[in-house]
Structure 1
Amino acid sequence: MEKAILITFLIATSMVYQSLAQDEEISPISPESFAYEPAAAYEYDHDLLDHMTTQRIKFLQDCSDKMSSKCGVEMTEGLIDDKPVSENCCVNFLKIGRDCHEGLLTFVFATYELKDAASEILPRSKRMWNKCVETTAAKIGVPLAFET
């Protein structure tokens, strides 16, 4: 179960930090080059998982399974760049439901590397949700409310 959450975290991190996923020349890493202490980040994220119930981890895993990876990437980029998402991804987004959406975002942006971005990203996620409700909900017959 922790493996699925870790994979979700790694995917989210690679979407946020696109440069990590690009090929480039490998050079030796000096300790000064880290923006954070890797051991501290690992310990922080491990503690985050340790404080979650098995039921909560299962819920988040089920939520991440419902979201297509293509839309997950598009939505993450949309949140970071403050851009709208496609109608197809809005459909996928709305079908996973608000509880899943909020749960995944809360978890991902509670991690060590992303916790400082939460105050900026979470309001964007509400705008994205509301835009998808406005443009797509009626087309798929889902009676969804706007997020306040």
Structure 2
Amino acid sequence: MEKAILITFLIATSMVYKTLAQDEDLSPIYLDSYADVPTATAYDHKLLDHMTLQRIKFLQDCDDKLSSKCGIEMTEGLVNNKPVSEECCENILKIGRDCHEGLMDFVFSTYELKDVANEILPRSKRMWNTCVRTTAARIGAPIAFET
């Protein structure tokens, strides 16, 4: 049943994008580009299945503490290898090193992002260390990651 709903959604989405492509001169998106969605879903479900409920709750609490504005800024900073604002640094440091590392490890273990983890995870540690150097004096002294 879940698979049927997903396939229906993908077909409908493909039709909408085809219509938009004709109207706005965009390239159409074909269903073939979603061929491994069930694989991705199964992979991510398996990832969650191997986590304890305590770990999932911990990561949810960490995510709740991170502002959505900072989450977006942090993601853009990691992808584009750019620093984040002092306000975002403060938010990152306030959630704590364990939360930051846990969220990064989890996010970059998912199917869609696991292939870039080796590049992005070191950036997340550098981002943390930069925030420690630039912002920690105002809020306390969190520990830097070893380099």
TM-score for the superposition, normalised by structure 1: 0.78
Give 1:72's aligned residue.
71
Deviation, structure 1 residue 32: 3.0
**Alignment coverage as a number of residue pairs:** 122
Q: Give the share of equivalent positions with the same residue, in percent.
A: 67
Alignment RMSD, CA only? 1.4
1:82 aligned partner:
81
Give CA-to-partner distance per residue, 1:1-60, whole Å, 9 cap, x none.
xxxxxxxxxxxxxxxxxxxxxxxx6127534324x6111001000111111110000000
- Structure number with greater Rg is 2
Which amino acid in the other structure matches residue 141 of structure 2? P
Using the TM superposition, give the Cα deviation of residue 144 of structure 1 relative to its aligned residue in structure 2, in angstroms. Answer: 1.6
Q: CA deviation at 1:145?
A: 1.9
1:121 equivalent in structure 2: 120
Query: Quick check: 1:42 aligned with 2:33?
Result: no
Q: Counterpart of 1:144?
A: 142
Partner of 2:98: 99
Give the whole-Å Cα distance in 1 for the aligned partners of 2:108 and 2:117.
5
1:70-105 Cα distance to aligned partner (Å, 9 max, x none): 000000100000000000000000000000001001
- In structure 1, distance between residues paired with 2:110 and 2:144: 27
Higher relative contact order (CA 8 A, sep 6+): 1
Give the structure 2 partner of residue 18 of structure 1.
none
